[in-house]
Structure 1
Amino acid sequence: MNVIKKKICFSFVLAGLLVPSVQAFVFKINAPPARLYVDDFGAVGDGMQDDISAVVASIEALRDAGPGAILEFSSGKTYKLGMRPDSNFQVDLQGMTNVTVEGNGAILLNTPYRASVRMQHCDGVTVRNFEIEQAPLGYTQGIITNVSPAGGFFEMEIMEGYNPIPAGMSFLDWGAVIDPDLRRIRWDMRDHFRPESYIAVGPEQYRLYMQSGYITDLNDVHVGDIYFQPLIFNGYASNIHITNSKDCLLENVTLYSGRSSMSSRVDLNPGRITVRGFKVMVRPGSERFVSNWRDGVHCKDNRIGPIIEDCYFEALLDDSINMSQNTVMASEIISSNTFRMTKAEGPTSWTEDSSSMHAGDRIMVFYPPTGEYIGPVRVASVDSNSREIITFEEPILNVVTGRVVSGDTLSTHFYNLDMCNARYIIRNNVFKPQRRHAILARSVDGIICGNRIEGVGGNGILLENEYGGPFFAGPFPQNILVSNNTIISTHLAPVRIHSSTGVTNSRLARNIELAGNQIIGLDTSAVELDNAQDVAIRENNVFYEINGTEMLDPVQAVDSENIFYVPTVLRDGGFEMTFLDPDNNGYEYCPEGLPWTFSPLAGYTESSTAYTSGNPPPPEGDQVLLLKGAASAFQPVTLSEGSYTVALYAAQRKNFGDQIQQMKVLLNGVSLGTFRPGTSGDYEPFESSVYTVPVRSTCILKLEALLNIDETLFIDDVRINKQ
């Protein structure tokens, strides 16, 4: 009888003969996702009226609307957000699933007493297309008018348009002195200063006394320099915080000014988080010298590493991307396999949200004095009443208790291999001059590729762990690919790989590959290795900035072993280096700053552009060489004595009719063969005839299209093979 009833109900559905309750159910299933507008809740968006109540109401309505709902802000408007009494975050998304907050380019004008955006306990949530500003700014800046190393102070006058130091603000955190012409910190000067105290010496004029460790550095400070001073309003909550969430996206958000804290923080997430198109930058046309005081994207204790792609960072006073896990120590030994744990960040008593260990997790135990580690050891259980009490499946011996405080080099470290940002991806980002490192990664199993790094004050890419000083972070960098990045004019080594241990031969930074990178350096080494092993460095292009000559010995290795180094023969044979694209159309004729030299109508193109949209994906990467008409590209290559062939893939343009373009490969003007791919548009392999080099010399490799007609050839994955 039940089966018959089900069949009858199904027949009624098909016939449209529904009782009202079923009709309502069907209507709800077929209804389009709810689309809400913040202006309908009373927001004005004129930059004057406080819209915080309307924004909070619209977020509550978004929660009630459920999965698929979209909350929209209006393009061209500025939403002033004053004090929100019930949360430290103005756009606070809690426990939401598959909803979107669409900014449409609107500006969030935020008070520095509150952070901007939080996604917590969210699944599939997207926040995109906003600009964020602070009113008032979360910092001040002034012109240095007097410097007295003997007195231990300098004086500054607040610049027009910047606020004085608020009355009653007794504590000033560290700031920085900026060269007004370079618009960055001079590299021969201390990169930060810590005030001890300050006094007003005139209208918007202050004397800042330095802490004792910074007084001698005042000798490098000049009258006329700019001093940036962060102002701390209501703690250090990050401007954007994504936590305890999964499958969430932050996209096309620009932070022009933030409260004095991290630009964004991604931590304790059980699933993948993507940060795409995030920009931390100085507002164009302003007199600002700093975009934000602390890190651009700060990642901690994620079960799977985030994807950070297509982002832009400039003028920060900390690292652009910082990837690590909190160091955990045992504050109390309860038994041989049970310990009370502690960490520097987070509450003393752990919660489900803040805990750094869960049942079943794999833990690495590190003993700094000896450089030894054991594990992984699995967590057997977590005390439900005191989550910082952890029991392991087996005893852990010789544990030295500690509290994760500066100066501690003896206590045992615990790192959760299931919460260390493994499988992170950092790709296709741009890093401009700033105070510290572009990419600092203390995690395992990562990919760093396609990034462009210029003029940063620290390392371009730093892979290391850290302990004993003010910061504790790990684990050791292992199983990482660094490929096809461009690194130019960094103050410290462009790439540094290091493991910090109590001994010099533990070599816990390991299994790392550097391939296909272009490095233009200021110093004698492009890659520094310290206490590392199993590092492959192959086919990177390394040159001195001062004269453009090749670095013949670009690797400096200390206490390291099993270093595999293969010098480059051909630079960017896959055409994957980042190129300037002013028109944003995905291709560029004669792009500058690349190892190839181009004739007119030759250049780089991405796949799926107006040229390549009809072709399949290229065999290597996402970019190819474009030769239109009788165009050509060449570069010098240094070849040792021997015989060589040139191998490549080529394809006809497919979205412009059947084409018959032909190409030639030349070395030192000698033709090594011609090739005409078929009309299918597929990339077809070609290998040239043999060219013999009698003695080591520099040769010119040229790739040339032969027919001076409106037809185009694409080339990819060019290799010079020694026979």
Structure 2
Amino acid sequence: MPKRTVLLAEDFGLLADGTSDDGRAIQRLLARAKQVGGSVELRFPKDKVICVKSGVERYAFLLNEVNNLRIDGQGSEFRLTPELRFLRAVGCSNLEVVNLKVDFLSQPTVAGTLAKVDPKAKAIEVKLDQPAMAGKLGGPTGEDGEQAFFGMIQLESSYDTRKLFHYYVDRVEVLSPGLVRVFNEKPVWKTLKQHGKPGQTRIGLPVPGVAHRYGPGPLFLIDGCRNALVSRVDVWSAPWFSFVLRRNEGQVTFRHVNVQPKLGSGKVLSSCRDAIHAKGNRASLLFEDCVLSGLGDDAFNLSTHCSRVTAIEAPNRITVAQQFPLVHIPFRVGDTLILMDPENNRKLAQRTIRAVNTIPSPRPPRAKPLAPWAPCSVLTLDRPVSEGLRTGLVAWSRESANPKSVIRRCVIRRSCRLQTNTLIEECDVQALLWFYG
């Protein structure tokens, strides 16, 4: 291993006093790391509270093609303002993020206890743990890429577990200090009347302007990197996805990474959406000794974006277009192409890709941050598909579908969507696991 240069955050003006903005000091630290080059460790003071109120492109750590960097929080807690996210790493190699906690200065959700279910009014009444938050609640704003606006209710379920149940919020009325009426037009009242227990059932309500906002993206984005380690990292709240891993190569390891409400806080929710969302990785993915709970969506979502056959140029040459492309997952020469018939959900053929011709197409204006788009590709195969070849078939690359994924000794308290070969070992699971695709 090359000798690592250690840069101390305090030497670049970081105060870690729990109130001052340390965002500018972090940017000076990153600039110096770029100048030094080679293997660099950014070391933060031990067990402090570091407030981050400014960043670059709304990220505290924005890393583009940075190699051999280690960020060691030494147990410190990073508190972000709600418009910021923690880390975006694109095209990096040998990245390590270790020993830190992440939370927000303004919480995405507020916890409370169910006080009353009123099906006639299509509303529930909630007694808030923090009465002062009553005036900050309300319905969706539609701003900054805000998505489905819901809270979560903990309902008693089978096997002595608690089922997290979506409760969409249309509007909120303040009845008295700390008591609010929350309206929801969706048909949920039979379930709530049967399982909701006033005085006992807990609920997490979204805070407008913070919760469910796509904003600049996930709390942590690792995209197109080679080799990454995230270890001993705690996420106590996140407005959207906590971790998104996409198009990475080599080895990506998560060890002792916990996405859960801060212990003792009484909170119901941690991340408003997925804890770990892995899409289109060629890397080996290893998740060990992680705890994922209090989530508004999946604990693990391991999947890829499939394409559809849109044209047949020859029995061994087809044009494909990616479906619902949150991110473009490119095909490569040598990949194994899988063709599936969606009418009977059966595998039709498996071929090796001999040539890829990506068809340029202008990116359409994006009305929303997640507007789907990806270029088409013409794929030349090693041999013809003799039977059943037609437009509309589903196609994907086996190599880019997280082909080597392991979840080991994890505590999972929310559903998992697994559209990839996944080995699950010695896990404590109280959730629905979806295996599909």
Shorter-chain TM-score: which interval?
A: 0.7 to 0.9
CA deviations 1:475-519 (Å, max 9, x no partner) are xxxxxxxxxxxxxxxxxxxxxxxxxxxxxxxxxxxxxxxxxxxxx
Q: 1:415 aligns with which of 387, 391, 396?
A: 396
1:128 aligns with 2:91: no
Structure of higher CA gyration radius: 1
TM-score normalised per structure 2: 0.83
- Answer yes or no: is the 8 Å Cα contact 1:66–1:99 preserved in 2: no
Secondary structure (helix, strand or coil) at the match of 1:48 reads coil
Offset at 1:55?
A: 0.8
CA deviations 1:350-391 (Å, max 9, x no partner) are xxxx33423442221111212332332326213263462211
Query: AA paired with 1:246?
Result: R
Offset at 1:285?
A: 2.4
- Answer yes or no: is the 8 Å Cα contact 2:127–2:178 preserved in 1: yes
Aligned pairs for 1:67-466 (under 5 A) are 67-84=38-55, 86-160=56-130, 163-164=133-134, 165=136, 169-170=140-141, 173-178=149-154, 186-187=162-163, 191-203=165-177, 205-220=179-194, 221-224=196-199, 225-231=201-207, 232=211, 234-235=213-214, 237-257=217-237, 259-330=238-309, 332-333=310-311, 335=313, 337-346=317-326, 354-377=328-351, 378=353, 380-383=355-358, 385-386=360-361, 388-394=375-381, 398-401=389-392, 412-431=393-412, 434=413, 436-437=414-415, 440-444=417-421, 446-449=422-425, 451-453=426-428, 456=430, 458-459=431-432, 462=433, 464-465=435-436
- Answer yes or no: is the 8 Å Cα contact 1:93–1:119 preserved in 2: yes
Secondary structure (helix, strand or coil) at the match of 2:218 reads coil
Q: Percent identity?
A: 19
- Answer yes or no: is the 8 Å Cα contact 1:106–1:131 preserved in 2: yes
Query: AA paired with 2:152?
Result: A
Query: AA paired with 2:224?
Result: N
Secondary structure (helix, strand or coil) at the match of 1:392 reads strand
Offset at 1:241?
A: 1.6
Question: Which range moves more in the overlay, 321-330 or 94-103?
Answer: 321-330
CA distance in 2, matches of 1:300, 1:239: 16
- Answer yes or no: is the 8 Å Cα contact 1:340–1:388 preserved in 2: no
Offset at 1:201?
A: 4.0
Secondary structure (helix, strand or coil) at the match of 1:45 reads coil
Offset at 1:204?
A: 5.1
Offset at 1:170?
A: 3.0
- Answer yes or no: is the 8 Å Cα contact 2:227–2:249 preserved in 1: no
CA distance in 2, matches of 1:166, 1:315: 20
- Answer yes or no: is the 8 Å Cα contact 1:359–1:382 preserved in 2: no
CA deviations 1:168-217 (Å, max 9, x no partner) are 8435612221259x9x9745xx7222234444444554332223332333
After superposition, the Cα gap between the structure-2 partners of 1:207 and 1:33, relative to the gap in structure 1 and judged at 3 Å, is same
Offset at 1:96?
A: 0.9
Which ranges of structure 2 fall in alignment gaps of 5 or more residues? 143-147, 362-373
CA distance in 2, matches of 1:260, 1:185: 25
Aligned pairs for 1:648-687 (under 5 A) are none
Offset at 1:289?
A: 2.6
CA distance in 2, matches of 1:127, 1:154: 42
Query: AA paired with 1:333?
Result: A
Which residue number in structure 2 is paired with residue 496 of structure 1?
A: none
CA distance in 1, matches of 2:85, 2:390: 39
CA distance in 1, matches of 2:138, 2:191: 28
Secondary structure (helix, strand or coil) at the match of 2:31 reads helix
Offset at 1:270?
A: 2.4
Offset at 1:275?
A: 0.9
Query: AA paired with 1:427?
Result: R
CA distance in 2, matches of 1:168, 1:153: 13
- Answer yes or no: is the 8 Å Cα contact 2:249–2:283 preserved in 1: yes
1:64 aligns with 2:35: yes
- Superposition CA RMSD, Å: 2.9
Which residue number in structure 1 is paired with residue 365 of structure 2?
A: none
Q: Which has the higher contact order (CA 8 A, sep 6+)?
A: 2
Offset at 1:98?
A: 1.0
- Answer yes or no: is the 8 Å Cα contact 2:170–2:185 preserved in 1: yes
Secondary structure (helix, strand or coil) at the match of 1:47 reads coil
CA distance in 2, matches of 1:177, 1:117: 30
- Answer yes or no: is the 8 Å Cα contact 1:113–1:233 preserved in 2: no
TM-score normalised per structure 1: 0.52
Secondary structure (helix, strand or coil) at the match of 2:25 reads helix
- Answer yes or no: is the 8 Å Cα contact 1:358–1:382 preserved in 2: no
- Answer yes or no: is the 8 Å Cα contact 2:408–2:427 preserved in 1: no
CA distance in 2, matches of 1:345, 1:205: 42
Offset at 1:105?
A: 0.8
Secondary structure (helix, strand or coil) at the match of 1:278 reads strand
Offset at 1:226?
A: 2.2
Query: AA paired with 2:263?
Result: P
Which ranges of structure 1 fall in alignment gaps of 5 or more residues? 1-29, 348-353, 402-411, 466-473, 475-723
Offset at 1:425?
A: 1.9
CA distance in 1, matches of 2:80, 2:125: 30
Aligned length: 404
Offset at 1:49?
A: 0.3
CA distance in 2, matches of 1:292, 1:423: 26
Secondary structure (helix, strand or coil) at the match of 1:54 reads helix
Which residue number in structure 2 is paired with residue 481 of structure 1?
A: none
